[in-house]
Structure 1
Amino acid sequence: MEWQPRWAGDLKYEVSHKNRMIQERFVVDLLAGSCSCRFWGLAGMPCMHACSAIFMKGDNPEDYCSNYYTPAAYMACYGTTLNPINGENMWPKVELETIRPPIFRVKPGRPRRVRIREHDEDRSQTKLRRSGTSVTCNNYGQYGHNRRHCPNPDITGNNPGSETAAP
């Protein structure tokens, strides 16, 4: 993408780019260290809009980065050595009572049948469906139906789904 900065006075620039049918424009303030896309304020380093304005001014973008990205700040944070610790078998033994979980109490009232779902959880799936399984008839062992809807008459005549069942 080619961003085109235009000087707007002081250290402010208007950076624009024509993206397909939309013309994008951002306001960059080099003195305040901000851009209207808000990346510079969040990350602490100039965004691509700010970099195009910095290049137009003739400066180095590294000069506009936050002090947290300097080697001195890195060494101040990670320069100290970490003291090693012994393994768990070398820890001193403590003669205290072990922590027990709280006592489970049954809450008053009727228990919930369905758990409370999170706000981002899909609420359309309320029942589990038996998809991909085949039903077997208990009378004859045939697939595709159960005993209640068996098209074959039961030998004893006790088939509830058959019209020819004995009274």
Structure 2
Amino acid sequence: METILCENAEAGRTWAVRRSNCTVFEVFADYSVMVDLEQRTCSCRLWQIDGFPCTHAVAAILAKRDSVYDYVECYYKTDFFRKAYESPIFPIPDIGKGLGSHGSAAGVVLPPLTKRPAGRPPTKRIKVFGEFKRPLKCSRCSVAGHNRKTCKAII
């Protein structure tokens, strides 16, 4: 998190920032970008997608002289990480011992009850009404209606 914030601050250091009101800023990068610090939005939409201030937002935050860490979403912080793993995580039971009272007693997976039919499986595509086969064309005499094997033309 620290390295990304430093990279974003370094990238936005040369950009001009103009304050529209107390929370809305216009950042002049290669193009003009609007940043709203109160709504935590940027017109490049990276801040809304990631929840992490983009380079434009970091430039606006530094222009306001606020702490960048106040604008990072809570799930990037260590407190949120600790709360996520606060409840105990129980180990998965050994598969060799069976599932006990929760599943099948034997723990054996049986094959499916249906069998595959013998022979070649049917084609999946069914031709639409009005769709026709292309007529055969002989590669020797270039006449439609027969192929090279059944050609009777003298060449």
What interval of TM-score do these two structures reach, taking the shorter chain for normalisation?
0.5 to 0.7
1:54 equivalent in structure 2: 61
Match of 1:34 among 32, 41, 48: 41
The structure with the greater share of residues assigned to strand is 1
State the distance in 1 between where 2:56 and 2:107 align: 61
Gaps of 5+ in 2: 1-10, 126-155
State the distance in 2 between where 1:15 and 1:35 align: 10
The structure with the greater share of residues assigned to helix is 2
**2:34 match: secondary structure:** strand
State the distance in 1 between where 2:55 and 2:107 align: 59
Return the offset for 1:97.
8.0
State the distance in 2 between where 1:55 and 1:7 align: 12
Once the two structures are superposed, residues 29-61 of structure 1 have per-residue CA deviations (whole angstroms, 9 ceiling, x without a partner) of: 001100011111111121110000000000011
Greater relative CO (CA pairs within 8 A, separation 6+): 2
Match of 2:73 among 66, 70, 85: 66
1:132 equivalent in structure 2: none
Q: How does 1:11-30 map to 2 (within 5 A)?
A: 11-17=23-29, 23-30=30-37
State the distance in 2 between where 1:59 and 1:76 align: 27
1:94 aligns with 2:105: yes
Pick which of 67-76 and 33-42 moved more.
67-76
- 2:79 maps to amino acid: A
Return the offset for 1:110.
5.7
TM-score under structure 1 length normalisation: 0.54
Larger radius of gyration: 1
1:5 aligns with 2:17: yes
Gaps of 5+ in 1: 18-22, 114-167
Return the offset for 1:71.
2.2
State the distance in 2 between where 1:97 and 1:66 align: 46
State the distance in 2 between where 1:28 and 1:105 align: 63
**1:9 match: secondary structure:** coil
1:76 equivalent in structure 2: 83
TM-score under structure 2 length normalisation: 0.58
